[in-house]
């Protein structure tokens, strides 16, 4: 089985986000691999371990993250992926449709049996890359997947449904699937092993034109006003009295 | 596949051991069992240190790793301390086994997350490295942060990760710098350039990460002039004193208990009376590991009004809090194997002395014991204070 896993970079929320004056751009000070995509990489490697085959990871990069993405790509190699590729987008885009359209041709040429992607990325919060990619490629898509195995000529996947129910589905290959979490937590890679992979991994690079798809524009990004937090301090009796005052003020008493 | 995995595992293991001084002494193991009998997890683990050595000799390391026994160790050093053959169990045999688990990619999750965070952010809490100095903003005075403009100081103070970020542990850091201020000490911190000193990464078997941290911290420290290091973190103290010198670090390092003892005459003249009954917990990396037993006791006893009582297990026989060697990140793993954690046992022992204050000197003791007080229902009867907090209280 020839498996592909996609990796996107997203803002690392450990550092605060900055929004530009016009409110139309977000400037993160640090990027990190999208967590769900790391789950997709893990599931890809688990599938390879179960059924054989190869895993190729494709990192999606614009100018902002073209260096940063090398680390998660090397990490995937250290975990057991066979090949790492990086596609450099001609311009950054938040539109998943544009990204999907750009990637579709590139991925089609490589004739994967299975393409795995994280169910969503925290920057767009759309959950759309997988479904749109499948549409452009003319392949089936299933999301919210937590387990996959090869059974005869198809893939058997499990997805989480509401109400504590698990759905089991037969998926004809080739297909695109969206991963919530891998069967097991992503494996740990010791520091020295990652460093070694960063030195030795050969990352093949490709330039990719991002097509324009109209109909959607950012109006503004902004932070909603933060609710005021008041800490009531003092002896229990005082605190209780003040709390009653506050409750009367806001009308719950 | 298993066979291949085993032989390469064995090779990796012995290669690592060969880099750790005296580790070939495992061949001299008498199988006396002193280690297992001394281990806080001895009754719970399928492989005591003695049985670990047996497994290594019998070439069944994979069975050992599968049992998870390598994580049932809190690096308390009691086994190594008592071993008649002086086998480096805590520094060699066990971390090298842990390294194999890390290479297999499946260490306990909380520990793995802490290690990943340290590698990425320089602290285990997934906090911004740019917020490492935020604790200084909680002081009502300014302190010196070394930089291109301020390049020298007498004392370089290392708060380390818990002291810089942990909500409760920051209080200890703040107490210590206030004592510096009262004593008129010329001190400074590395600011946001300080990274995890890394002793727990080393003891967790993440040797590559430890070396990286040593390299980065030494590079930062080399930019400045200072005469000595003082730290409130027992593990940072140990690593800076015994491990960093292997990489060329050559400055004198003091644990804050030593620093307080050194300044005791001056402090004494300023002490007010405190009405406490106090017992002292000998932290592993202060006491057993580094022989600092009398300094903290002398400081506590010098405070007027304090009644000092000893626990049953003291000095080299003190029971570990369970936080060391990555134990602070193995809580849920350990809880699966053990009904009562060492910290719970220890606070019961402390309460039995009749003390109302349990004084500690290792930063990990604070979260471990305060949690144990809640679990055991002893909260309210006994409070945990670092020695610097007790001293500052006596100064105020």
The CATH number linked to A207 is: 3.40.50.620
Q: Of A67, A73, A235, A186, which is closest to residue B112 (Cα–Cα)?
A: A186
Out of B121, B127, B208, whose CB is closest to A190? B208
Residue A24 has φ and ψ, to the nearest 5°, of -105, -5
Query: Mean pLDDT over residues B114-131, rounded?
Result: 97
Question: For residue A172, what are the β-bridge partners?
Answer: A154
pTM here is: 0.93
B325 in any annotated domain:
yes
Which of B15, B104, B105 has the most A C-beta neighbours within 10 Å, making it the best mutation to test the interface with A?
Answer: B105
Q: Chain B within 8 Å of A8 (Cβ-Cβ)? A: no
8 A C-beta contact, residue B201 and residue B92: no
Domain enclosing residue B133, as ranges: 111-260
- Across chain B, mean pLDDT equals 96
Instruction: Say if the Cβ atoms of A191 and B208 lie within 8 Å.
Output: yes
B382 in any annotated domain:
yes
Residues B116 and B90 in one domain: no
Residues B174 and B158 in one domain: yes
A229 in any annotated domain:
no
Residues B250 and B150 in one domain: yes
Residue indicated by tokens 């902002």:
A64
Out of A79, A185, A191, whose CB is closest to B119? A191
B266 in any annotated domain:
no
Task: Kindly report whether the peptide bond that precedes residue A130 is cis, defined as omega within 30 degrees of 0.
Answer: no
pLDDT at B3: 43
Residues B280 and B362 in one domain: yes
Instruction: Say if the Cβ atoms of A191 and B112 lie within 8 Å.
Output: no
Residue B321: which residues within 8 A CB-CB, separation 6 or more? B281, B283, B342, B343, B346, B360, B362, B364, B365, B368, B369
Confidence band for B6, pLDDT divided at 50, 70 and 90: low
Confidence band for B9, pLDDT divided at 50, 70 and 90: confident
Residues B277 and B250 in one domain: no
Domain of B135, CATH number, reads 3.40.50.1860
pLDDT at B1: 36
B294 in any annotated domain:
yes
From chain B, the residues in CB contact with A187 under 8 A are 105-106
Final residue of a structural domain among B54, B87, B106: B106
Provide the 8-state DSSP code for B242.
Answer: I
A155 in any annotated domain:
yes
CA distance A1 to A100: 23
Provide the 8-state DSSP code for B47.
Answer: S
pLDDT at B5: 53
**Minimal Cα–Cα distance from B310 to chain A, Å?**
34
Question: For residue B145, what are the β-bridge partners?
Answer: B189
Residues B126 and B240 in one domain: yes
B100-112 per-residue burial string, b: 16 or more CB within 10 A, e: under 16: bbbbbbebbebbb
A232 in any annotated domain:
no
Residues B389 and B340 in one domain: yes
Contacts by B213-219 with C-beta closer than 8 Å and gap 24+?
B213/B118, B213/B122, B214/B243, B214/B244, B214/B247, B214/B249, B215/B247, B216/B122, B217/B190, B217/B244, B218/B244, B218/B247, B218/B248, B218/B249
From chain A, the residues in CB contact with B109 under 8 A are 185
Out of A14, A32, A195, whose CB is closest to B208? A195
Tokens of A35: 């967590």
Evaluate if residue B246 carries a pLDDT over 60.
yes
Evaluate if residue B4 carries a pLDDT over 90.
no
Domain of B344, CATH number, reads 3.40.50
Domain enclosing residue A99, as ranges: 2-218
Residues B275 and B232 in one domain: no
Confidence band for A230, pLDDT divided at 50, 70 and 90: confident
Report the residue of chain B nearest A49, measured CA to CA.
B1
Residues B297 and B380 in one domain: yes
Count other C-beta atoms under 10 Å from residue B356's C-beta: 17
A214 in any annotated domain:
yes
Per residue in B322-363, pLDDT tens?
Answer: 999 889 999 889 888 988 999 999 999 999 999 999 999 999
Final residue of a structural domain among B106, B132, B164: B106
Residues B365 and B391 in one domain: yes
Out of B128, B206, B207, whose CB is closest to A14? B128
Evaluate if residue A34 carries a pLDDT over 50.
yes
Q: Chain B within 8 Å of A190 (Cβ-Cβ)? A: yes
Report the residue of chain B nearest A31, measured CA to CA.
B120
Q: Is A203 helix (H, G, I), strand (E, B) or coil?
A: strand
Final residue of a structural domain among B260, B279, B309: B260
Q: Is A79 helix (H, G, I), strand (E, B) or coil?
A: helix
Evaluate if residue B155 carries a pLDDT over 50.
yes
Residues B117 and B256 in one domain: yes
Total domains, chain B: 3
A102 in any annotated domain:
yes
Q: Chain B within 8 Å of A193 (Cβ-Cβ)? A: yes
Query: Mean pLDDT over residues B93-107, rounded?
Result: 96
A123 in any annotated domain:
yes
A31 in any annotated domain:
yes
Query: Mean pLDDT over residues A32-52, rounded?
Result: 98
Q: Of B207, B58, B198, which is closest to residue B124 (Cα–Cα)?
A: B198
Total domains, chain A: 1
Residues B275 and B370 in one domain: yes
**Minimal Cα–Cα distance from A191 to chain B, Å?**
5
Confidence band for B8, pLDDT divided at 50, 70 and 90: confident
**Minimal Cα–Cα distance from B154 to chain A, Å?**
33
């Amino acid at each position: 089985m020839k498996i592909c896993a996609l990796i996107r970079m997203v803002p690392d929320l450990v550092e605060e986000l900055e929004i530009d004056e016009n409110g139309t751009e977000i400037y993160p000070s640090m990027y990190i691999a999208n967590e769900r995509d790391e789950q997709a990489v893990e599931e890809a490697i688990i599938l390879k371990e179960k059924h054989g085959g190869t895993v190729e990871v494709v990192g999606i990069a614009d100018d902002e993250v073209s260096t940063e993405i090398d680390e998660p790509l090397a990490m995937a190699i250290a975990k057991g992926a066979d090949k790492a590729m990086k596609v450099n987008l001609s311009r950054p885009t938040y539109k998943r449709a544009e990204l999907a359209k750009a990637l579709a041709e590139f991925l089609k040429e490589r004739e994967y049996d299975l393409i795995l992607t994280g169910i969503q990325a925290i920057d767009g919060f759309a959950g759309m890359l997988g479904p749109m990619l499948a549409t452009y490629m003319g392949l089936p898509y299933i999301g919210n997947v937590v387990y996959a195995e090869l059974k005869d000529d198809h893939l058997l996947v499990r997805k989480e449904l509401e109400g504590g129910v698990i759905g089991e589905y037969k998926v004809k290959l080739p297909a695109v699937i969206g991963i919530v979490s891998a069967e097991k937590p992503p494996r740990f890679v010791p520091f020295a092993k990652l460093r070694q992979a960063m030195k030795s991994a050969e990352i093949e690079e490709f330039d990719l034109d991002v097509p324009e798809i109209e109909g959607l524009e950012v109006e503004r990004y902004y932070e909603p006003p933060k609710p005021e937090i008041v800490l009531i301090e003092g002896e229990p009796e005082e605190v209780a009295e003040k709390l009653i005052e506050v409750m009367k003020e806001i009308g719950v008493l | 596949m298993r066979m291949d995995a085993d032989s390469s595992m064995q090779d990796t293991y012995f290669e690592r051991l060969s880099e750790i001084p005296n580790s070939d002494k495992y061949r001299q193991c008498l199988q006396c069992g002193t280690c297992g009998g001394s281990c806080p997890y001895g009754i719970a683990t399928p492989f005591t240190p003695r049985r670990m050595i047996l497994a290594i000799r019998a070439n069944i390391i994979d069975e050992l790793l599968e049992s998870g026994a390598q994580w049932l160790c809190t690096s308390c050093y009691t086994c190594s301390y008592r071993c008649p053959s002086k086998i480096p169990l805590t520094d060699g045999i066990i971390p090298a086994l842990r390294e194999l688990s890390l290479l297999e990619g499946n260490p306990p999750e909380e520990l793995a997350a802490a290690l990943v965070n340290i590698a990425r952010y320089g602290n285990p809490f997934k906090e911004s490295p740019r917020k490492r100095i935020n604790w200084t903003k909680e002081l009502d005075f300014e302190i010196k942060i070394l930089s291109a403009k301020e390049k020298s100081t007498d004392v370089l103070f290392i708060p380390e990760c818990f002291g810089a970020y942990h909500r409760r542990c920051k209080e200890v850091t703040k107490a210590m710098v206030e004592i510096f201020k009262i004593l008129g000490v010329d001190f400074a911190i590395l600011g946001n350039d300080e990274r995890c000193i890394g002793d727990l990464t080393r003891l967790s078997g993440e040797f590559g990460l430890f070396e990286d941290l040593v390299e980065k911290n030494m590079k930062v420290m080399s930019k400045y002039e200072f005469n000595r290091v003082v730290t409130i973190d027992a593990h940072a103290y140990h690593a800076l004193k015994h491990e960093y010198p292997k990489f060329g670090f050559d400055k004198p390092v003091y644990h804050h208990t030593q620093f307080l003892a050194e300044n005791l005459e001056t402090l004494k003249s300023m002490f007010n009376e405190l009405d406490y009954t106090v017992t002292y917990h000998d932290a592993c990396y202060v006491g057993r590991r580094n022989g600092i037993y009398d300094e903290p006791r002398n400081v506590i006893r010098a405070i007027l009004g304090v009644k000092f009582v000893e626990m049953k297990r003291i000095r080299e026989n003190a029971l570990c809090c369970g936080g060391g060697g990555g134990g602070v990140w193995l809580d849920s793993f350990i809880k699966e194997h053990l009904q009562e954690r060492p910290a719970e046992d220890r606070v019961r022992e402390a309460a039995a002395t009749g003390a109302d204050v349990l004084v500690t000197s290792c930063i990990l003791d604070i979260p471990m014991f305060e949690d144990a007080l809640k679990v055991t229902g002893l909260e309210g009867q006994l409070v945990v204070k670092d020695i610097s907090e007790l001293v500052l209280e006596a100064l105020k």
